[in-house]
Structure 1
Amino acid sequence: MANPYLCPNCKTNRSRFNLIQQVATPVKIDARSGDLIEQYENNDAGPLHMTYRGPELRVQCATCGLIEEERMFVKRAQQQQ
């Protein structure tokens, strides 16, 4: 996080944000009851289980509440310089 941020929604907040670390946990649940059947370790969920490919970090504006990928906040700040 070596780049300045600017909220793309409210366009005023440059200093107050919540950083959200996303940690995916691959699991298998029962289709009927919703109970947890298995939790996979080391991304070894098998060939039918796609691994998470989303962003590791999301940012929430602490002024308006917008949650987006970090790049959206960085790009908005770069456009306003």
Structure 2
Amino acid sequence: MSAPYLCPGCKTNRTRFNIIEQVAKSVKKNPQTGEVLEEYAEEIISPMHLQYKGPDVRIQCAACGIIEDEISFIKRAEYNKSS
């Protein structure tokens, strides 16, 4: 998060962002009621349940509202260094 950002959507914002920290919780739900039947601990997960492998952090541009992976904002800033 110490790298410069540039919004890949509006391509003008370099200063105002919302950092969204994602915390995945593995659960098993009742298909009829939606009630949570079981919560899986990270180290004890069902063989039929894939663990979350997405990013821990997402970034939202506070000017246009687009939400993307952090790398999108970093790469856009690298690409437009001279601007």
Q: Secondary structure at the match of 1:38?
A: strand
For these two proteins, the number of residue pairs brought into alignment is: 81
Tell me how far apart the structure 2 counterparts of residues 4 and 43 of structure 1 sit (CA, whole Å).
35
1:42 deviates by 2.5
**What TM-score results when the alignment is normalised by the length of structure 2?**
0.94
* Off by >3 Å, runs of 4+ in structure 1: none
**What is the CA deviation profile of residues 19-47 of structure 1, one whole-angstrom value per residue up to 9, with x for unaligned ones?**
00010000000011111101112242211
Tell me how far apart the structure 1 counterparts of residues 6 and 43 of structure 2 sit (CA, whole Å).
35
RMSD of the alignment, in Å?
A: 0.8
Identity %: 51
Tell me how far apart the structure 1 counterparts of residues 67 and 9 of structure 2 sit (CA, whole Å).
10
**What TM-score results when the alignment is normalised by the length of structure 1?**
0.96
- Listed as ranges, the gaps of 5+ residues in structure 1 are none
Structure 2 contact 40–46 (Cα < 8 Å) conserved: no
Tell me how far apart the structure 2 counterparts of residues 37 and 26 of structure 1 sit (CA, whole Å).
11
- Listed as ranges, the gaps of 5+ residues in structure 2 are none
